[in-house]
Structure 1
Amino acid sequence: MSAGRTAAHRHHDPGLRGFASDNYAGAHPEIIAAITLANGGHQAAYGEDAYTERLQSVVRRHFGPSAETFPVLNGTGANVVALQALTDRWGGVICAESAHINTDECGAPEKIGGIKLLSLPTADGKLTPELIDRHAFGWDDEHRVRPQAVSITQSTELGTVYTPGEILAISDHAHERGMTVHLDGARIANAAAFLGVPLSAFTSGVGVDIVSFGATKNGCLFGDAVVVLDPALRDAMRYLRKQSAQLASKTRFVSVQMEALLAGDLWLRGARQANAMARRLAEGARAVDGVDILHPVESNAVFARLPHAVARKLQRRYGFYFWDERAGQVRWMCAFDTTEDDVDAFVQAIKEEMSTSPG
């Protein structure tokens, strides 16, 4: 078979842009180059390959010398496997009501992991020690699941970012009560870019026990990872990953993507671009009379409120989702490949649709 030839055909317009999700973006060219580099010849399967071995040292530069990395196929898988490592069959996980594990994973933690989620309403997507205490009780009551872990999302589902101090306070509070801490880092790079700190500053450095590391939303083709920071969890992870159908046979193609992302500054470049475009979008939309920006723009997400009819008309021109359709709230996401021209054209479309909206 000749290299570079394929029987496949392009079935989309590569010039189409939108603000629905950072998952809509393609893979970064440097990621595609890395996959090509890892192709050819034979390598051991199921993570016993040279690329997965190399990934360990690359990740440790970001998370510390005790970190152990387990590549998985996707973010839901990373979360389910990580949370199982922290809980018994009678265990519960405290999380924000808006947490992805609670709202967008089709009950996977409950169905696959057998984990009860103990969710809490928050104003900004962020837990606090005081909120955690609403569920942190009854450890010896066999009529109630035992709260064993706290799960936080960084950056949150509302686009906000925990400071290292806030996570330290949560970790200390959880550990004092015999609980562990999971960080869902689907957009962890965006949080680091906003804070201007290393990844360790709000993970291993402040008591987080395990991290779901998101790579797909930051330019990878597929795959994420569980980064174990507490060495006591390593052995269980090997079995849980396999049981949860998250051990790829050709793991090298996940690992080499993450090496490309983390060995240099690709992870940070992509996140900075996405964040900057979200700020540009928020500033442009805020200046349009009748558009409200609902939350601080601290990552690559913009939440806005505008007339329902306007939002529906805009969706015919650009892809994006309603966050709360009844309240007229929408979510606009920027990606590593979002450009100033993309943002400016969208802001102009908002202006045009708002100007023709009755009332």
Structure 2
Amino acid sequence: MNKRGFASDNFSGILPEVMEAIQNANNGHVIAYGGDAYTASAIEKFKSLFGENIDVYFAFNGTGANVISLSTLTQSYHSIICPATAHIQVDECGAPDKFTGCKVIPIDCPDGKITPELIQPHLHGFGFEHHSQPKMISITQCTELGTVYTPEEVKAICDLAHANNMYVHMDGARLANALVSLDVDVAEFTTKAGIDVLSFGGTKNGMMLGEAVIFFNPELSTEAKYVRKQSMQLCSKMRYIGAQFDAMLTNDLWLKTARHANKMAKLLESEVLKIDKVKITQKVQTNGIWALIPKDKIEKLQEEYFFWVWDEHAGEVRWLCSFDTTEEDINGFVALLKKELSKN
């Protein structure tokens, strides 16, 4: 029997609307590798979000989307600056390093958000042949700590990058959660802020598989199709990815799912704040909660509602909500927390 939990929004199933879209696409023969009507329709929906002057490439997964984004705009003698908690630094098994050949420079950020002030000391050695050339800044929206960059914060980073002939990549694996938290037009912290390339998440928001790489200046993406193929991210039966995005971007389904996940996280926050032995460590702005709990209670809690340990030395854990998290899940977990933490 599958148990409910708060480990990751990857643990959930897929949306009924997405399953229906896959089934509807499973009919007859269509042109492979993206030459189908489902992919074309999804791309048109992306253009309605971000504008006509974009270039869209579908990939299987988030690591693949990030590799395509970074590899297309860098050479192996470049460096990529990112927060120390960034997915490309911590959770992708060195794939960005391997495929780009770049030196990845992680910067400590207490709240997961990099700033121009933190970036500036690393912007040196331009034109010096003995030094990796700074070329890319990668940020995540929302961050790996659930925090959110404002449009102004994103623009400040992009302005700094462009002033130094650099590019900015946004890892948007949970872009929808950030968007509903900010309650602005998505263009405000992407196209208008100056982002060059975006990894647009689908899997964590209710899709079976699939991410999108969006270049906001097609002049930058002339090599992207070759990078995608060489990165083993070109899906032959692409209609099944296109159909999923087409469903997600219809009637704002992608925002409805994220809005629910965020709402459940706020509900969980309100309940655990009442428990003395729980200390929330980050602002709860999206669908995740980071908290300190007694280390000797973690394993017992995981038996009933599985979740990941974020920092095993400190006893910091991460609880994530998804599109299918229910109030019953929250109430059951909170009751277990109270029960276990009340014991000596």
Alignment equivalent of 1:136, drawn from 123, 137, 145: 123
Whether the 8 Å contact between 1:55 and 1:69 is mirrored in structure 2 is no
In the TM superposition, residue 233 of structure 1 has moved relative to its aligned partner by 1.7
Aligned ranges 1:1-359 → 2 under 5 Å: 13=1, 16-356=3-343, 358=344
In the TM superposition, residue 168 of structure 1 has moved relative to its aligned partner by 0.6
In the TM superposition, residue 263 of structure 1 has moved relative to its aligned partner by 2.4
Structure 1 letter corresponding to 2:90: T
Alpha-carbon distance in structure 2 between the residues aligned to 1:263 and 1:114: 38
In the TM superposition, residue 333 of structure 1 has moved relative to its aligned partner by 0.5
| Structure 2 length-normalised TM | 0.98
In the TM superposition, residue 198 of structure 1 has moved relative to its aligned partner by 2.1
Q: 1:133-179 deviations in whole A, cap 9, x for unaligned? A: 12111121222211101000000000000000100111111101110
Q: 1:97-135 deviations in whole A, cap 9, x for unaligned? A: 000000000000011221211110001000111111121
Number of residue pairs aligned between Structure 1 and Structure 2: 344
Alpha-carbon distance in structure 1 between the residues aligned to 2:189 and 2:48: 14
In the TM superposition, residue 284 of structure 1 has moved relative to its aligned partner by 0.8
Alpha-carbon distance in structure 2 between the residues aligned to 1:215 and 1:162: 20
What residue ranges of structure 1 are gaps of 5+ in the alignment? 1-12
SS in 1 for 2:122: coil
Alpha-carbon distance in structure 1 between the residues aligned to 2:221 and 2:79: 20
Q: What is the match of residue 5 of structure 1?
A: none
Structure 2 letter corresponding to 1:343: I
SS in 2 for 1:205: coil
Alpha-carbon distance in structure 1 between the residues aligned to 2:260 and 2:191: 25
Alpha-carbon distance in structure 2 between the residues aligned to 1:121 and 1:234: 30
Structure 2 letter corresponding to 1:183: M
Structure 1 letter corresponding to 2:329: D
SS in 2 for 1:24: coil
Whether the 8 Å contact between 1:188 and 1:213 is mirrored in structure 2 is yes
In the TM superposition, residue 249 of structure 1 has moved relative to its aligned partner by 0.6
Alpha-carbon distance in structure 2 between the residues aligned to 1:348 and 1:26: 25
Alpha-carbon distance in structure 1 between the residues aligned to 2:220 and 2:240: 25
Structure 2 letter corresponding to 1:191: A
Q: 1:55-77 deviations in whole A, cap 9, x for unaligned? A: 22100111111112111000000
Alpha-carbon distance in structure 2 between the residues aligned to 1:178 and 1:242: 27
In the TM superposition, residue 310 of structure 1 has moved relative to its aligned partner by 1.3
Q: 1:13-52 deviations in whole A, cap 9, x for unaligned? A: 35x2100000000000000000011111001111111111
Alpha-carbon distance in structure 2 between the residues aligned to 1:178 and 1:68: 21
Alpha-carbon distance in structure 2 between the residues aligned to 1:67 and 1:292: 43
Q: 1:313-340 deviations in whole A, cap 9, x for unaligned? A: 1011111010001101000000011011
SS in 1 for 2:72: helix
Alpha-carbon distance in structure 2 between the residues aligned to 1:105 and 1:118: 15
Alpha-carbon distance in structure 1 between the residues aligned to 2:323 and 2:102: 34
What residue ranges of structure 2 are gaps of 5+ in the alignment? none
Per mean C-alpha deviation after superposition, the further-off stretch among 61-70 and 270-279 is: 61-70
Whether the 8 Å contact between 2:123 and 2:134 is mirrored in structure 1 is yes
Structure 1 letter corresponding to 2:247: A
Runs of 4+ in 1 over 3 A off after TM superposition: none
Whether the 8 Å contact between 1:81 and 1:113 is mirrored in structure 2 is no
